[in-house]
Structure 1
Amino acid sequence: MTDQELQQLVETISLQFFSKPFRHRARFNSRLRTTGGRYLLRTHDIELNPRHFEEHGEAELIAIIKHELCHYHLHLEKRGYKHSDREFKELLREVGGSRYCRQVTGGRVTLPYRYELVCVQCGMNYKRKRKMNPARYRCGRCGGKLKLKQMAGPAG
């Protein structure tokens, strides 16, 4: 789905479910990671996560669009547009929008441990997520010097 098709879909949903026109821009934003979409207060534009459409289909995308249009129309009418506002919850229930979107896979894959400290004398291993200076520490088992070793995998 292109941004033009998305714009047309948002305008259609706005007229069909809210009986009000959508007069701003709707676009995909692939940088969104943890959310299905967002309504921008200053520009009144709506950005949507394209991975939700790719992984869950058009029905999930429409539910997210309805959610963002609730923010949009309530904000323009100077009514309660926040998630905690009663007016927002009521309008969302009326139009059948989603309160929460489903999770998407992908994103950054991080290894649980990126660094390993190895004792030069006894060979004891200490796994660490963050890099540290081995000269400032000693082995807890034998008191020997430590050597830093970066583990294999994508640096993230």
Structure 2
Amino acid sequence: MKESELQQLTEHISEQFFGKTFRHQAVFNDRLKTTGGRYLLGTHNIELNRRYLEEHGREELIGIIKHELCHYHLHLEGKGYQHRDRSFKDLLQQVGAPRFCTPLKTVQNKRRVQKRQEYVCTGCGQYFIRKRRIDTSRYVCGVCKGKLKWQRTIGSD
């Protein structure tokens, strides 16, 4: 789908479901990773994630456009446009827009296990797990003031 087609689709959805014109731009933003789209408060433009069209199809993209148009029209009218606002939730229900989009399969597979560093005290045997490596010559056990020894990295690929 080209951006000109996306613009026409957004204008059509705005007229059909909201009865109002969409006077700004709707564009694809390939830098969006985990969200289906976003409404920009400063420019009033809508950015959409192209991967939702590729993975879930046109219907999912239409749902995301409806969702972003809810933000758009409520913001321009000066009403509550945020997810927590009652007017936003009511408008979502009226037009049949989803509150949240379906997660992308590619994003779910890319979640990494965070690496952890495991240390043990040579005096009392207490284990410590940290996100970052520490300088064992500068730090000591908080229980007995004994020396720390690096054991292993947990969660490495």
Q: 1:82 to 1:126 in 2, by over 3 A?
A: closer
Q: What RMSD over aligned residues (CA atoms) do the two structures have, in Å? A: 3.3
Alpha-carbon deviation of 1:153?
6.3
Alpha-carbon deviation of 1:19?
1.7
Separation in structure 2 between the aligned mates of residue 128 and residue 146 of structure 1, nearest angstrom: 13
Is the counterpart of residue 132 in structure 1 residue 134 in structure 2? yes
Separation in structure 2 between the aligned mates of residue 102 and residue 62 of structure 1, nearest angstrom: 13
> Does the 8 Å CA contact 1:24/1:45 hold for their aligned counterparts?
yes
Q: 1:45 to 1:88 in 2, by over 3 A?
A: same
Structure 1: any 5+ residue segments left out of the alignment? 120-124
After alignment, is 105-114 or 40-49 more displaced? 105-114
Which residue is 2:47 aligned to? Answer: 47
> Does the 8 Å CA contact 1:113/1:128 hold for their aligned counterparts?
no
Q: 1:128 to 1:69 in 2, by over 3 A?
A: same
Which residue is 2:124 aligned to? Answer: none
Per-residue CA distance 1:55-98 (angstroms, 9 max, x = gap)? 21111111111011011111112222222222222221111111
Which residue is 2:112 aligned to? Answer: 110
Q: Secondary structure at the match of 1:134?
A: coil
After alignment, is 41-50 or 74-83 more displaced? 74-83
Per-residue CA distance 1:4-24 (angstroms, 9 max, x = gap)? 222221111111111211111
Alpha-carbon deviation of 1:111?
3.1
Normalised by the length of structure 2, the TM-score is 0.74
Name the count of aligned residue pairs.
152
Task: State percent identity of aligned pairs.
Answer: 53
Is the counterpart of residue 28 in structure 1 residue 28 in structure 2? yes
Structure 2: any 5+ residue segments left out of the alignment? 122-126
Normalised by the length of structure 1, the TM-score is 0.74
Alignment of 1:56-135 (within 5 A): 56-105=56-105, 106=107, 108-113=110-115, 115=117, 128-135=130-137
